[in-house]
Amino acid sequence: MIDKIKNALANFITNNDEEEEDKKIILFDASMLKEKDDAEEPELNMIGLFADVVEEKIADLVHAFLYLNEVNKLKEKEEDKKPIKFYLSTYGGSADDMFALYDTMRIIREDTEIHTIGLGKVMSAGVLLLAAGTKGQRQIAKNCRIMIHTVMGGNQGNLHNMLNEMEAIEQLQEMYSDCLVAETKMTKSRLKKMLERKVNVYLSAEEAVELGIADIII
């Protein structure tokens, strides 16, 4: 039964339909490339997000994280449990969908280590997802660019609608800042000063480690 679920999930996550090439979420394990005994099956423990943070992709990722966590919880020995390796390269996207995945990661890392690996660019919503990995297991490639900015939004209509939108954006910004401060070495005042100084704050891999967004440069 577990094998059937695993195969179904792998097909669902990787989405082999050629007509939907924009779905770039990957569930993969390097051990699949190694020779193995017929009785020993590789376990899928790698997930990748190489796209914007949008609802349909985040839904797939949430399912993958929850599944891999449940697989680990079924194992009796701690040494048999495998960390989830989460590779990401993204320009960012929806704040609401970012929080959906962030909260999933935050909850399951109590049971399963999450190793985050930033490649290429990790921007906007992606920064919190990179920082949400297990402390000490958050990696960033030496040529990866980090970019932080304030929560963005837009609305048209009467003054009342625009004021409501502004209030909602301020609440989202407060939530984002609180979460980023909780996951990094940044204080709220330092983060506020950074965001007030520039519209988009670009950081090198070294600066990301210094600020506690990541732990290791690879």
Catalytic residues: 124, 149
∠ CA 99-144-191, nearest 5°, is: 50
3-state class (DSSP) for residue 48: strand
Q: Are strands 25-28 and 46-49 parallel, antiparallel or unpaired?
A: antiparallel
Closest to 173 in 3D by CA, of 152, 146, 156, 159: 152
Cα 60 to Cα 204: distance, rounded to the nearest angstrom: 30
DSSP 55-82: HHHHHHHHHHHHHHHHHHHT-SSGGG--
Helix locations, 38-158, DSSP H: 55-73, 95-108, 125-131
Q: Please identify which residue in the block is written with the tokens 């195969």.
A: 7
